[in-house]
């Protein structure tokens, strides 16, 4: 700590449910490494895990939770319904699959992984199932991911419950101001995926990517605080009121990414990081239909 008042690691969702702002991601965490990574994260102090049916590691996330020995009620568990389970009955059943694999009775946050632009009526039906699960107390909050403002507008026009969260690609090279404005207008919390820019440097995802981790401005700000670029990016998210869910399977980096509560970025530094936005998406375009995604079934629990 360098004498700084720690910011809180707690956010309140639009339905009053409290959620740790800093979560732990497990996309591309191999199943055989996931339980150990989740156990390490929980022992480090993380109390929020973000997984997805499509990551095929919900079972190992559950195992890591049990191994860590942290009281389950202290852990905020978030997962996502994959598009092949969209539709009302299918999504109700997706809840059974997810809870069966995770070994929990109730989920803290269940979100739709992405809009299915070519089957939007099934996306809406899936969200109606989330509303039912919420009404029955089987999930504490519901939300969406990769929803652009027009997807949100269509969803809000057809459903009752405003999503608590919109999980979107969000790092200094892609800050999605229009989506954040739409989220803010409706009281939806932004949750950053690839919060430290993983999608700009994942190995094997194309050599033409420019790694945000190596950005000179971030490096300079990090040096000024005796911190790393990853810590600076996470602090930037939390100081601007967002949730962030960095992924790592490396114990040193898991600890590094949690050690962000003892320093503070100035308003000028936050603005300099905002200024790095290139407006270029690295992940898939949520408006492009990818019917092949419906061909990936999610196994039973």
Task: Point out which residues bind ligand NAP (CB under 6 A).
Answer: 25-27, 50, 113, 145-146, 167, 193-199, 202, 213, 228, 230, 245-250, 253, 256-257
In the bound complex, what is the minimum distance in angstroms from residue 259's beta carbon to ligand NAP?
A: 10
In the bound complex, what is the minimum distance in angstroms from residue 194's beta carbon to ligand NAP?
A: 4
Cα 56 to Cα 28: distance, rounded to the nearest angstrom: 9
Rg (CA), the chain: 18
In the bound complex, what is the minimum distance in angstroms from residue 202's beta carbon to ligand NAP?
A: 6
* HEC letters along 197-224: CHHHCCCCCCCCCCCHHHCHHHHHHHHH
Block residue for tokens 């419950």:
161
In the bound complex, what is the minimum distance in angstroms from residue 69's beta carbon to ligand NAP?
A: 23
- Residue 27 near residue 247 (C-beta atoms within 8 A): yes
Closer by beta carbon to ligand NAP, 139 or else 213: 213
**In this structure, what are the phi and psi dihedrals at residue 17, rounded to the nearest 5 degrees?**
-70, 135
Closer by beta carbon to ligand NAP, 208 or else 268: 208
Closer by beta carbon to ligand NAP, 26 or else 238: 26
- Residue 246 near residue 196 (C-beta atoms within 8 A): yes
Closer by beta carbon to ligand NAP, 122 or else 247: 247
Cα 102 to Cα 60: distance, rounded to the nearest angstrom: 8
Other CB atoms within a 10 A radius of the CB of residue 182 amount to: 20
Structure tokens at 257: 């990414």
* HEC letters along 120-168: HHHHHHHHHHHHHHHHCCCECCEEEECCCHHHHHHHHHHCCCCCCEEEE
Closer by beta carbon to ligand NAP, 155 or else 199: 199
Cα 137 to Cα 224: distance, rounded to the nearest angstrom: 47
Of these residues, 55, 86, 127, 173, which one is catalytic?
55
Cα 86 to Cα 100: distance, rounded to the nearest angstrom: 18
Active site residue 46: no
In the bound complex, what is the minimum distance in angstroms from residue 244's beta carbon to ligand NAP?
A: 8
What positions carry a catalytic annotation?
A: 55
């Amino acid at each position: 700590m360098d004498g700084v008042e720690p910011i809180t690691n707690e956010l309140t969702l639009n339905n009053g449910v409290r959620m740790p702002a800093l979560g732990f991601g497990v996309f591309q965490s191999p199943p055989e490494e996931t339980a150990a990574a989740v156990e390490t994260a929980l022992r480090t102090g993380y109390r929020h895990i973000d997984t997805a049916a499509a990551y095929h590691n919900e079972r190992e996330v559950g195992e890591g939770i049990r191994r860590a020995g942290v009281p389950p009620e202290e852990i905020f568990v978030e997962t996502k319904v994959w598009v092949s389970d969209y539709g009302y009955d299918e999504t109700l059943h997706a809840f059974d699959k997810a809870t069966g694999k995770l070994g929990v009775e109730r989920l803290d946050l269940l979100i739709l992984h992405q809009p299915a632009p070519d089957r939007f009526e099934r996306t809406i039906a899936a969200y109606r199932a989330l509303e039912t699960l919420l009404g029955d107390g089987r999930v504490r909050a519901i939300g969406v991911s990769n929803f652009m403002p027009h997807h949100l507008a269509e969803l809000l026009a057809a459903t009752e419950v405003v999503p608590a969260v919109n999980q979107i690609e969000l790092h200094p090279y892609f800050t999605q101001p229009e989506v954040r404005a739409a989220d803010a207008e409706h009281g939806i919390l932004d949750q950053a995926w690839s919060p430290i820019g993983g999608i700009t440097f994942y190995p094997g995802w194309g050599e033409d990517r420019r790694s945000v981790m190596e950005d000179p401005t971030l490096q300079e700000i990090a040096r000024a605080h005796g911190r790393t670029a990853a810590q600076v990016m996470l602090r930037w998210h939390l100081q601007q009121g967002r949730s962030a869910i960095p992924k790592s399977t490396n114990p040193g980096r898991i600890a590094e990414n949690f050690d962000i509560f003892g320093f503070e970025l100035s308003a000028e530094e936050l603005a300099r990081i905002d200024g790095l936005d290139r407006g270029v998406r690295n992940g898939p375009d949520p408006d492009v239909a990818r019917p092949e995604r419906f061909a990936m079934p999610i196994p039973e629990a």
